[in-house]
Chains A and B, each alone.
Chain A
């Protein structure tokens, strides 16, 4: 089975505007088995997006190594699909051409034409092929961007808070669809999120990260049967545990400046 990722002693340093070196990621080690769903969760600045971009090959590590199925990751590649926080559909292409973009770029569009229709249907956008992105709602655009990332058969799908800008109902809806697609197409999914519920609902493992410097503090195995129930007692126990790891759990003294 393909799609297993090894992250080995990865460090990532940035130079900020004041020419100071900032450690975005410190000694990260994660093994991600093929066909699993992993969430990276943590407050902003913990380096979770950086880690995702390293896996995508959009950034290079300062030291250490990332590999997919034993091959070192150096550049972006279609076997690692990426779904951004904004849909980033090309506004000059209609939905069909947006979804077909990757296949055309790789010169395999003619052989795989039927896949474009299949994936447009898979994300529920049949009938909207000729529409331009600005004519569709945010949720529909995000679905189109999912189809665009999936149509090239990636073995890994990287999701950078893709549902963060959507309303709660659309979000739950697309979460279910992501799970359905994962079951149907078999791939590893790695998602960056701020949303604890979302992480528990979707993931096999939750990687909890803390900032300054960005590091992995714990990895929680979510041992719940699927489909999961967001109001289930065990679900809520995981919720409390993750919040505690993020230092938001339990009772805290009420601050004196409370309003």
Chain B
């Protein structure tokens, strides 16, 4: 039974390959230079077979667990291929064949990579500024009554405005589009991080601070060694939400003003009516978001190992 399950992806991939190779393409679709889809599927399934044979125990179990998912993935690809390349059921202009999309990824990767680097630079700098200032503001609001009095109204008024609404002003105020965009990213991350950090601090059991004070801890020490770690789970939710909304902000910002970047690339290719490039851009973007979110989750599991059994996500 296990044996059969482990070979499901291979079977599924073979079906897709047979259809791709033996069923003739519709004449409406552009012909690609190489058999990209065949290579793509063959490489994926080969990697799978290699690792399921020589992988470590843990990796094998993981692959086996995912086997059904991979099999279905190849079939989804198959159906998409039939609907586009084979019979051109979907409008050809907006739904290019998987072969075409893969061709763009392979031939245009240099330019896509440049756009990606450009985007990542803005994203990373804005994100870092947003997280640091958000945590700092949150801690200040959480612990100082005076700062709460003066800053909290500001947070409440400015925070809920979608960062993209600032674009008209931001583009005028900042010297370059890069700085303006990373400011918007910072704003998008800053608000949820601030709110959830101060919220997390407000939710800390007072007895933790009492314990710290009876053990001889001074106030500043308590803030950083009790307040910050105790509020960390909330802080993470804030950073997480902020990161997600920063993706939205980034793409919108790029579509409006930038001259470069992955969001700009998608928008530009849309205007050129080359939808294969649009899909390629989307795939790159989703891979990046996936990696970023995965890193965040790993970081959380590492830092917040203690809250297993304390707080559920």
- Residues of A participating in the B interface, judged by any CB pair closer than 8 Å: 56-58, 75-78, 80-82, 84, 86, 88, 90-94, 101-102, 104-106, 132, 134-135, 148-149, 152
Contact = CB atoms under 8 A, between A and B. Distances in A.
A78 B221 CA distance: 14
A105 B221 contact: yes
Given A92-B229, A92-B230, A105 B212 contact: yes
Contacts of A82: 210-211, 214
B216 interface: yes
A149 to B, nearest CB: 8
Interface stretch (B77-85, B96-104, B304-312): B304-312
Contact of B306 (A105, A106, A134, A152): A134
Interface in B209-251: 210-218, 221, 225-226, 229-230, 232
B56 interface: no
Contacts of A106: 216-217
B307 A92 contact: yes
B208 interface: yes
Given A90-B229, A92-B306, A134-B309, A81 B211 contact: no
| Most chain B C-beta atoms within 10 Å of own C-beta, residue among A75, A81, A92, A135 | A92
Nearest to B210: A58
B214 A91 contact: no
A105 B310 contact: no
B197 to A, nearest CB: 16
Nearest 6 CB-CB pairings of A with B: A78-B216, A102-B215, A105-B217, A82-B214, A76-B213, A134-B309
A88 B306 contact: no
B144 interface: no
B215 A148 contact: yes
> How big is the B interface, by class?
20 to 34
Nearest to A154: B214
Contacts of B214: 56-58, 76-78, 80-82, 149
A148 B214 CA distance: 11
Contacts of B230: 90, 92
Contacts of B27: none
B107 interface: no
B213 A58 contact: yes
A84 B212 CA distance: 12
Contacts of B213: 58, 75-76
Contacts, number: 75
A84 B211 contact: yes
Contacts of B205: 88
Interface of B: 205, 207-208, 210-218, 221, 225-226, 229-230, 232, 304-310
B207 A88 contact: yes
A29 B226 CA distance: 36
A90 B221 CA distance: 14
A113 B237 CA distance: 36
Nearest to A84: B207
A104 B210 CA distance: 16
A78 B211 contact: no
B232 A92 contact: yes
Contact of B216 (A58, A77, A90, A91): A77
A159 to B, nearest CB: 12
A152 B310 contact: no
B215 A134 contact: no
A88 B218 CA distance: 18
A45 B166 CA distance: 56
A6 to B, nearest CB: 20
B149 to A, nearest CB: 23
5 contacts: A58-B213, A88-B211, A101-B212, A135-B309, A152-B215
A90 B208 contact: yes
A105 B210 contact: no
Contacts of A92: 229-230, 232, 304, 306-307
Contacts of A84: 207, 210-211
Contacts of B217: 101-102, 105-106
A80 B304 CA distance: 32
Contacts of B212: 101, 105
Contacts of B226: 90
Given A90-B229, A91-B307, A93-B306, A105 B208 contact: no
A78 B306 contact: no
A56 B304 CA distance: 32
Contacts of B307: 91-92
Given A88-B207, A91-B306, 5 more contacts: A76-B214, A81-B214, A90-B229, A94-B306, A105-B216
B306 A76 contact: no
B207 A86 contact: yes
| Most chain A C-beta atoms within 10 Å of own C-beta, residue among B213, B305, B308 | B213
B222 to A, nearest CB: 8
A105 B208 CA distance: 14
Contacts of A81: 214-215
Contact of B210 (A76, A101, A102): A76
A13 to B, nearest CB: 21
Given A58-B210, A82-B210, A105-B225, A134 B216 contact: no
